[in-house]
Structure 1
Amino acid sequence: MLIQLKQWVKTNDSGLAAFCRTLAKYLLNPQFPELPGFHVLLYTLHKTIFWLWHNISRVLYFTPILKSQAKGSKKNLYLYSGLPLILGPLEITLGDNVRMSGVTTFSGRAASKHTPQLIIGNNVDVGWQNTFAVGGKIVLENDVRLAGRVFLAGYPGHPVDNVDRALGLADLDSQVGDIVIKQGAWLGTGVTVLAGVTIGQGAIVGAGSVVTKDVPAFAIAAGNPAKVVKQLPQGE
């Protein structure tokens, strides 16, 4: 009965149905008038409470928890927006002055013969919604910068053979490879780096690129698949 009434209100051309549609919009989306002084103050209070809660939870809760799951010096770790999701077996090493979004996923390949290793050096930025799929080893050397939604795909998670996939079998060792991001490299938003790739020192990878082969030092690469579009002077 209710479904039929809802359908009638939505589709009927009568004046009564039109009135019911208008009334429903007001009832489903009531509006409270803005009180400029009051709501500006309320917004300031909201931001202050949020800032206090964010920083207290960051310092006292999320950062110590992540440090407990990592090796290395871990000095001055700045973790914001929660706690990274850690899946599977994974050994994490953190250097000093790492800045990392908590909206990040670290995944270790369960089928690896040895525990996968994620090694992050000093003064590294790991942006929002990054995903690291560590098959054997992923290394971020010092001064690396990763923008948002970067995917380091060290293992695929499924075998190539469709029958094996249907059976739920693991990917093969031949599909797995290490990923190394050399000192000072910068990966733009939405970059994907496939297994076995090394990004050279000081290199830049443009937003949305899919890197299937090594990128030389001090090169700018872009596209799908990524290709070198410019060579930078060393140290620029």
Structure 2
Amino acid sequence: MRQDNRPYWIKKLDKRINRFYVNHFLSPQFKSFGKGSAVFKPRFVKVFGANVSIGKFPTIIGEQDAFIQLTSWDVGEWEGEIAIGDYALISPGVRILAAKRVSIGDACMFGHGAYITDSDWHGIYDRTEVVGSPKEVVLEKNVWIGDSAIVCKGVTIGENSIIGAGSVVTKDVPKNSVYAGNPAKLVKELNEGEFVSRESFFSDPKKLADDFDMLDRYTLAKNSTFSWIKSLIFRDKSH
């Protein structure tokens, strides 16, 4: 990881610019966009269609080489919908596509490059058929989808369950279980009542924000404006 050479005031300014972009350019693309969002590199979050909503306190992380794509297909007879609950974590490269409905519960987490779809996007026999035969996808609360995993149409994943990296999920997954592989199969059953979800982070949002601000002040305290400019001009392995 590259060293952050920015002085505190520059990082603070970056955050304000980022918030302006989210409020004026990104959130209006959603049907509804919850309060308390943390969106990193929002220029690399792409929303298509009028029926994409997300709840409060989402964490969304875009990257230049790994765009996030949220698409509700609402053309002709199709009225796709993506409904994401509160406290979601959406990592770089995540794609969620809906021609019918993708429903995601609270506190769900998506690893890098995860793909969720409710359609084949072409007919099996008629390859000119644009959508095919969509079937609703449901992720119950506190589901964790690993890096590059694929969740196919018609699947329901139960509460607290985990899908391993690179897995392909074609059938329902019961709650409190770990599935992995292609096709995904049961690896482990989880104990009930032992889960702490992302919701716990946000029990006191102001304190959380103050803690992060204090961390920034501490870690960037020795960075000067001059050293930051110097690091931009004369780059080395630490910059």
TM-score of the superposed pair, with normalisation by structure 1: 0.71
The aligned residue for residue 85 of structure 1 is 46
More displaced stretch, 66-75 vs 139-148: 66-75
Write out aligned runs for 1:72-151 (5 A).
72=32, 74-83=34-43, 84-87=45-48, 89-102=49-62, 103-111=67-75, 113-151=77-115
The separation in 2 between residues aligned to 1:177 and 1:135, in whole angstroms, is: 8
Amino acid in the other structure paired with 2:15:
N
The structure where helix makes up a greater share of residues is 1
Amino acid in the other structure paired with 2:57:
N
Structure 1 residues 52 and 232: CA distance shift in structure 2, 3 A:
same
2:52–2:72 contact (8 Å) kept in structure 1: no
1:221–1:228 contact (8 Å) kept in structure 2: yes
* SS, match of residue 44 in structure 1: coil
Of 202, 206, 213, the match for 2:160? 202
Structure 1 residues 156 and 48: CA distance shift in structure 2, 3 A:
farther
Of 45, 55, 59, the match for 2:19? 59
Structure 1 residues 114 and 159: CA distance shift in structure 2, 3 A:
closer
The separation in 2 between residues aligned to 1:131 and 1:90, in whole angstroms, is: 16
Quote how far apart the aligned CAs of 1:231 are.
0.8
The aligned residue for residue 223 of structure 1 is 181
Q: Percent identity?
A: 24
1:96–1:123 contact (8 Å) kept in structure 2: yes
Work out whether 1:179 is the aligned partner of 2:137.
yes
The aligned residue for residue 10 of structure 1 is none
Of 106, 113, 123, the match for 1:159? 123
Larger Cα Rg: Structure 1 or Structure 2? 1
The separation in 2 between residues aligned to 1:50 and 1:189, in whole angstroms, is: 32
Structure 1 residues 92 and 179: CA distance shift in structure 2, 3 A:
same
1:95–1:120 contact (8 Å) kept in structure 2: yes
The separation in 2 between residues aligned to 1:178 and 1:107, in whole angstroms, is: 14
Pairwise CA RMSD: 2.3
Quote how far apart the aligned CAs of 1:140 are.
1.3
Give a deviation string over 1:134-187, Cα, whole Å, max 9, x none.
1211111111111110000222222212xx43xx44232x2x111111111111
5+ residue gaps in structure 1?
1-39
1:109–1:155 contact (8 Å) kept in structure 2: no
Question: Higher relative contact order at CA 8 Å, sep ≥6: structure 1 or structure 2?
Answer: 2
* SS, match of residue 55 in structure 1: helix
The separation in 2 between residues aligned to 1:171 and 1:190, in whole angstroms, is: 23
Structure 1 residues 105 and 97: CA distance shift in structure 2, 3 A:
same
The aligned residue for residue 211 of structure 1 is 169
Quote how far apart the aligned CAs of 1:112 are.
5.9
More displaced stretch, 130-139 vs 53-62: 53-62
* SS, match of residue 5 in structure 2: helix
* SS, match of residue 42 in structure 2: coil
2:115–2:150 contact (8 Å) kept in structure 1: yes
* SS, match of residue 149 in structure 1: coil
* SS, match of residue 61 in structure 1: helix
Quote how far apart the aligned CAs of 1:62 are.
2.8
5+ residue gaps in structure 2?
195-239
Structure 1 residues 157 and 97: CA distance shift in structure 2, 3 A:
same
* SS, match of residue 100 in structure 1: strand
The separation in 1 between residues aligned to 2:61 and 2:10, in whole angstroms, is: 17
Write out aligned runs for 1:35-46 (5 A).
44-45=5-6
